[in-house]
Structure 1
């Protein structure tokens, strides 16, 4: 496990909204200024990391704790 976000994609709708997809499913829709800012930032930054951040699916901080929980040890 590399820790790098993956599986994200985005598409721009006809009305200018940006839909961020995670493994083919809609994660978030950005509208207006947020959509415009996203389109600018996606060109200069790491697109996968940026899409993970805007979708809220980014480094929750409990990954190691959950992995070591007794309920998850046998997995």
Structure 2
């Protein structure tokens, strides 16, 4: 399975966190979600965390799609 990559984040003066993917804005975290993100960002793999928050990650059904009759 591929790894998440291409994510960057920046913190604004008002406390919001903007997450971009390959230079395009993916999401903006505000309030409690932004604070939780800032706490978690240094604890593990930042790329996977940002992929999960933006919804940009593999869902596990890609392998099954190849066996569907429509895709043969």
Q: By the TM > 0.5 criterion, same fold? A: yes
Q: TM-score, normalised by structure 2?
A: 0.84
Give the Cα–Cα distance (whole angstroms) in 2 for the partners of residues 24 and 61 of structure 1.
Answer: 26
Aligned length: 69
Structure 2 partner of 1:12 = 11
Q: Secondary structure at 1:45's aligned position in 2?
A: coil
Displacement of 1:61 in angstroms is: 1.9
Give the Cα–Cα distance (whole angstroms) in 2 for the partners of residues 50 and 9 of structure 1.
Answer: 11
The gaps in structure 1 that reach 5 residues or longer are none
Give the Cα–Cα distance (whole angstroms) in 1 for the partners of residues 15 and 28 of structure 2.
Answer: 11
**Segments of 4+ moved more than 6 angstroms:** none
The gaps in structure 2 that reach 5 residues or longer are none
Q: TM-score, normalised by structure 1?
A: 0.81
For residues 1-75 of structure 1, the aligned pairs below 5 Å read 3-66=2-65, 68=66, 70=71
Displacement of 1:26 in angstroms is: 0.6
Displacement of 1:65 in angstroms is: 3.0
